[in-house]
Chains A and B, each alone.
Chain A
Amino acid sequence: MATQAELLPGNLDLVILKAISLGDVHGYGVLLRIEQISHGAILVQQGALYPALYRLEHRGLISSTWGTSENNRRAKYYRLTALGEREFRQQRTSWTRLADAIALALTATPQEV
């Protein structure tokens, strides 16, 4: 397992959008999926998850429907909306560009100066 990384403020929404973009999932499933796709590197505070989900739903980036969970309980499933897909692509591009730039800056050698 990789060492756990702190999420920067504002990045939680991006990670949640990614987790939901992989398939409809309920709230607890979002938590597990983030843990899974980040190989345990990103651990989301359980209390912070729901305000973020409701915020995304309020902005129209995800929608929700009630369904049945794997343990036969009533559960609320989240799905990415068209608006959410667009937002996710934009945020991902922006993040990748920033991460690449920072990585490039951090890997610079004295010869490049």
Chain B
Amino acid sequence: MSGPPGWAAVAGALARLRSWYRSIVHRDATERAIREEFEQHIALHTERLVREGLAPDAAARQARVAFGHAESHREDARASRGLRWYDQLRVSALDVKLGLRMLAKHPVISVAAVLALAVGIPVGLAPSHIAAAVEAPLPGDPAHRIRAIRYWDPAAVAVAATTTSEFAYWSRELRSFSALAAFRASPIQVALDDGRPEPLEAAQVSAATFAVLGVVPQRGRALHPDDFVPGAAPVVLIGAQVWRTRFASDPAVVGRVIRVGRELSTVVGVMPEGFRFPSYAQLWLPMRLDATAQAGGGATVQIVGRLAQGHTAEQAQAELERLVPPLTVDASDAERRARLRPEVVPFGLLFMGLPAGGLDAMPEYYLAQLLMLVVLLVACGNVAMLVFAQTATRFKEIAVRSALGASRTRIVSQIFAETFLLALLSAALGVFLVDWALGHVNLAAIGGQTAMPYWLTLRVTSGTVVRAVLLATLSATAAGVIPAIGITGRAVYQHMRGGSGVRFGRLTGVLVVADIAVAVAAVGLSLAIVRQVTDMQGLAAAAGIPAADYLAVEFRPSDAAATDSGRSARALVTALGAEPGVRGVAVANALPLMEQPSRPIEVAGGDAEATGAQEWVRTVAADVDYFRGLGQVVLQGRDFDRNDLEGQDRHVIVNTAFVTQLLGGREPIGARLRFAARGAAAASAWHEIVGVVPHLGINAVNAERGAAVYVPTALDAITPMHVALHVGAAPMRLGPRVREIAQAVAPDLYMASPTALTEFRQGDWYLVLGLGGGLSVLAFVLVALAASGLFAMLSLTVTERTREIGIRAALGASPRVLVWTVLRRSLLQIGLGAALGLPLAAYFVSTVVGESAASPLWALLIATGLAFGIVLLVAAVSCAVPMRRVLAIEASIAMRAEA
């Protein structure tokens, strides 16, 4: 019989697959069938022997002998199906039981290992967890049908504005969305029944917004199309929190009238608890789209849409790329459109300004992921040492099992099962703790916000659990399989022949050295940064400003379309300056100690040509009276005056750090700089430096490194407008008066809560705080890991050298000699690690923190020295317990036990 060519190979392969399927999926049934077949065979042979004249008992016995060892045949039978590997790797309930027993038998080692992985696994999980959280669907949209539409500027790596006319075009043309909504979020002054104005986050939304989001008010009604008609009576929807806190959950709130900005608006509904779309809003107002907006023009809005039934985000993206909104006659619009890419993205990416792929698309993400995995790897390395030490105490058991026929793979997979159990326990503990912490820690406050975006939840999801199990498996492989391979095989036979078998090899030595080195470096760096954070309290003084005497207030136009905000700003500044008790008024888009925006700058060479070198420098748009308002004396050159705003020549003032860093100390007055081209924006004209001021608290981490350029700017062009009022001691007392003045002179300006200038914190400050906190935890973990690794290594060394120590003790060796004998190698490793870690710590500290007035060299040296001391102390303590065991070894008992 023969079939078409190749059929034999196909038929053979199918037969093998079928056989494997039966053996793996129906393993128990297959095993039963094998046993039954063997019994049948022995019964038939017995009957034959009986027929040949043997007594039944003798026949049965002889048949069994002739058949041989049924268990071995059964194993051979499974092996003949190519399933030996599967059987050996298969983790049974017995393995789990043994694993649990081992955990209980060595509680100290188990706790150390569980803690190491309980920190390592969540740390390894963090980046992917955050990446997933950012891209998660909005609340109430489990199918992820709501997507944002935006323009992305690849050159600037930033979100570019979309306008009402583009919104109108896409709403009309896009078929892959069932509806689109436009919104614009901005704070607004709201006066409730008590008449007290209060700034609240508000969102102007288009008619379809609530339908797109699939949210209905818990009370009253949503916004009605009539509300959007020009001239309609103003209405407002309020958030559950406002209803609760400002209206005492009044059931009759619907219909009440409140002042929102300049208008009296009727409350028409209360939104459900937790709803704060787009992120923090507590009020929702109808957005009146400008119907006459020219193509390509109109106000800036953000856009979301609900995908139509049967359409995917990919199809929507393709359609969006095909549809090109009509252009204006303005040539720059065509150029802008050619540069931008329309995108359909998860809502979080619009809000966070992340590229379309989310965090996954950013190289920084992979760097963070890599760093976190290194921490996990260090944890795994230490757990591997613990497993190694623990397994070494079971040499006899492993040797006996090997002698009874257990293969190396079988023993390795059992040790893996034990470590896996440990890793799972650690992952569960770690994930539970992180979830608990995320539920109880005010992340918004840490991030310098009053609230987190309502859609962002960092709580643990099923995806996080799956990733945790995956990391636990990888950790168990690294921490369990590698030492298990090292300890089985040849080492077992050496042990059976009477040798010790186990030796900590070069790898563990390197691990200890690396552990200590990394711990010293991390402790040094975190100490220096923590010191820096405490030092920053004194930054105000270092900035040369009596910040405690200043009140800082932020103003911004409460409506983007307002046109008279410039006049209001001028009136406001004049009124504030005229107020008794106000000694000076300084206005800029960022005050000293705050976060100033950076721009790329080119400095002209000697012949006024660009050198081509760009550097990002903090750039402050300042009123011409800014330095006088701050009581600052210009160190060199002159201060700004009115002419700087009007003349053709462009002038700037720089700070001392700019002179040092960008000019290399050369004469600043008369030097020229310009703002470099960025994305499509061309380079600016050349600006001449006319004056030099002190550093003025530009860089929170290192004042001496905070180079800054001050550009004279007309008041109406400064947004946001930060005003510093020099009022003397207890500046907050003037807060209510400032609000009154603002209400009277500039009601169209939104005024944030007044703050003492000392309370301002730069973004850097939070970065340093987060970095300091994170590093401190990491340093603690690394030191604990190094200590547990050392502890495990020394414990094993003592165990395996018990006999030798006993003999030495019997021969009269002093305790000091005995301790030295055991400790020598570890001390060498600790010393080597610390010696390597010290310059590493010094390097990190000097690079990241740097020497400054706040952190002089001696402070850095103390930080690194302290780190060295802490790690040595912990290392010494971790040696103490094994050393006590050394000194407790009785010669006779040791020798009897090992004989």
Contact = CB atoms under 8 A, between A and B. Distances in A.
A54 B12 contact: no
A99 interface: no
A75 B40 contact: yes
A58 B72 contact: no
Of A45, A51, A58, the most chain B CB neighbours within 10 A belong to A58
A76 interface: yes
Contacts of A57: 15, 19
Contacts of A69: 40, 44
Nearest to A26: B40
Contact of B72 (A26, A47, A82, A85): A47
Contact of B3 (A54, A76, A82): A82
Contacts of A85: 1
B66 interface: yes
A46 B76 CA distance: 13
B41 A52 contact: no
Contact of B81 (A28, A55, A76): A55
A58 B41 contact: no
B80 A86 contact: no
Nearest to A87: B8
Interface stretch (B30-38, B242-250, B274-282): B30-38
A51 B44 contact: no
A46 B41 contact: yes
A37 interface: no
B689 to A, nearest CB: 85
A27 interface: yes
A76 B73 contact: no
Contacts of A60: 11-12, 14-16, 18
Contacts of A47: 67-69, 72-73, 76
A43 to B, nearest CB: 11
Interface string B82-103: 1000000000000000000000
Interface in A80-105: 81-83, 85-87
Of B12, B38, B41, B66, the most chain A CB neighbours within 10 A belong to B41
Interface in B1-23: 1-3, 8, 11-12, 14-16, 18-19
A51 B33 CA distance: 14
A58 B68 contact: no
A39 interface: no
A58 B44 contact: no
Given A51-B79, A60-B11, A71-B44, A46 B68 contact: yes
A54 B3 CA distance: 24
Contacts of A86: 1-2, 8
Contacts of A50: 34, 37-38, 41, 73, 76-77
B40 A54 contact: no
Interface string A35-53: 0000000000111001110
A58 B793 CA distance: 48
Nearest to B81: A58
A79 to B, nearest CB: 14
B407 to A, nearest CB: 17
A27 B41 contact: yes
Given A46-B67, A51-B73, A28 B80 contact: no
A55 B82 CA distance: 9
Contacts of B76: 47, 50-51
Given A28-B40, A83-B11, A76 B33 contact: yes
A76 B72 CA distance: 20
Nearest to A89: B1
A57 B78 CA distance: 12
Nearest to A56: B80
Interface in B209-262: none
B12 A59 contact: yes
B43 A73 contact: yes
Contacts of B66: 46
Interface residues of B, number: 35
A10 B45 CA distance: 25
Given A50-B77, A75-B40, A83 B15 contact: yes
Nearest to A47: B68
B82 A58 contact: yes
A93 B70 CA distance: 35
Given A60-B11, A83-B12, A74 B36 contact: yes
B80 A54 contact: yes
A1 to B, nearest CB: 15
A81 B7 CA distance: 13
Contacts, number: 86
Contacts of B37: 27, 50, 75-76
Interface in B24-76: 33-34, 36-38, 40-41, 43-45, 47, 66-69, 72-73, 76
B30 to A, nearest CB: 10
Contact of B80 (A58, A81, A83): A58
A82 B1 contact: yes
Interface string B728-757: 000000000000000000000000000000
B40 A73 contact: yes
Of A59, A69, A85, the most chain B CB neighbours within 10 A belong to A59
Contacts of B36: 74, 76
Contact of B77 (A45, A46, A54, A75): A54
Given A26-B40, A28-B45, A47-B67, A52 B12 contact: no
A75 B33 CA distance: 10
A57 B45 CA distance: 23
Nearest to A70: B44
A45 B72 CA distance: 14
A75 B68 CA distance: 20
B73 A58 contact: no
Contacts of A87: 8
Nearest to B77: A54
B77 A51 contact: yes
Nearest to B12: A60
A87 B2 CA distance: 11
A50 B40 CA distance: 12
A9 to B, nearest CB: 14
Nearest to B11: A83
Interface string A2-21: 00000000000000000000
A98 B43 CA distance: 39
A39 B77 CA distance: 28
A71 B36 CA distance: 15
Contacts of B79: 51
Given A46-B68, A74-B40, A55 B3 contact: no
A58 B23 CA distance: 10
B159 to A, nearest CB: 60
A86 B3 CA distance: 10
A57 B14 CA distance: 12
B3 A28 contact: no
A81 B81 CA distance: 18
A60 B20 CA distance: 12
Contacts of B77: 50-51, 54
Contacts of B44: 28, 69, 71, 73
A59 B68 contact: no
Nearest to A60: B15
A28 B41 contact: yes
A10 B36 CA distance: 27
A67 B80 CA distance: 24
Nearest to A76: B37
Of B12, B40, B67, B72, the most chain A CB neighbours within 10 A belong to B40
Given A54-B77, A54-B80, A73-B43, 18 more contacts: A27-B40, A28-B45, A47-B67, A47-B68, A50-B41, A50-B73, A50-B77, A58-B19, A58-B80, A69-B40, A69-B44, A71-B47, A76-B33, A76-B37, A83-B8, A86-B2, A86-B8, A87-B8
7 contacts: A28-B44, A50-B76, A55-B80, A60-B18, A75-B37, A85-B1, A86-B2
Interface of B: 1-3, 8, 11-12, 14-16, 18-19, 33-34, 36-38, 40-41, 43-45, 47, 66-69, 72-73, 76-82
The 3 nearest A-B residue pairs measured at CB: A60-B15, A47-B68, A55-B80
